[in-house]
Amino acid sequence: MTADHGKPEKTQLAEETLQLEKELAEMTTLAEERLNQLKYLQAEFDNFRKWSEKEKGSVITLANENLIKDLLVILDDFEQALPSLEDEKDREGVGMVYQKMVKILARYGLEPITCMGGKFDPQFHEVLCRKQCSEESDTIVEEIGKGYRLKSKVIRPSKVMIAEHASKKEGEENG
């Protein structure tokens, strides 16, 4: 009897073992799925955080850009006023204020576009007029209005006069 009675116990234990192994496999699969979901959510959150920081930086840069564009008008006024001041003390005082303003704006990334003697580049320059001269064509011969970059972005192109090379005299062309 014990031998017969023992067989069903072994079968029952084997069935329970199989059932537990099956449940363990299901739980392991579920745990792996949850872990993968957690890793995915972590990556998504990290990407969101990076995007959010970048967006915040863009908003600050745009706000600075608009403010600096408005201040460029005052910078231009200083540049025009300085040569016209007759009193040396006035010129020195206004010059100091102008230099402070230039330094402050430079800390925020503002830099003038240098152009004299260089070649015309439509990314940095706006041609207002041309001048016939012996210089090579498209060489900048005069800066009419100062241009500026904020970090690497042009916020105001330089207004320039460029050379138009006069290779032949007018009479030679018609003759």
The fold for domain 1-108 equals Hemagglutinin Ectodomain; Chain B (3.90.20)
Q: What is the pLDDT of residue 136?
A: 83
Residue 3 has pLDDT above 60, yes or no: no
Q: What is the pLDDT of residue 6?
A: 54
Q: What is the pLDDT of residue 49?
A: 95
Q: How far apart are CA 69 and CA 150, in angstroms?
A: 9
The fold for domain 112-175 equals Nucleotide Exchange Factor Grpe; Chain A, domain 2 (2.30.22)
Q: What is the pLDDT of residue 64?
A: 85
pLDDT band at residue 5 under the 50/70/90 scheme: low
- What residue ranges do the domains of the chain occupy? 1-108, 112-175
Average pLDDT in the 40-62 region? 91
Q: What is the pLDDT of residue 2?
A: 45
| Residue 160 · residue 144 · CB < 8 Å | yes
Residues in the chain: 175
Average pLDDT in the 142-159 region? 91
Q: Is the dihedral of CA 149, 79, 144, 120 positive or negative?
A: negative
Residue 138 has pLDDT above 50, yes or no: yes
**Its pTM surpasses 0.75:** no
Average pLDDT score over the chain: 86
The total of other beta-carbon atoms located within 10 Å of residue 60's CB is 10
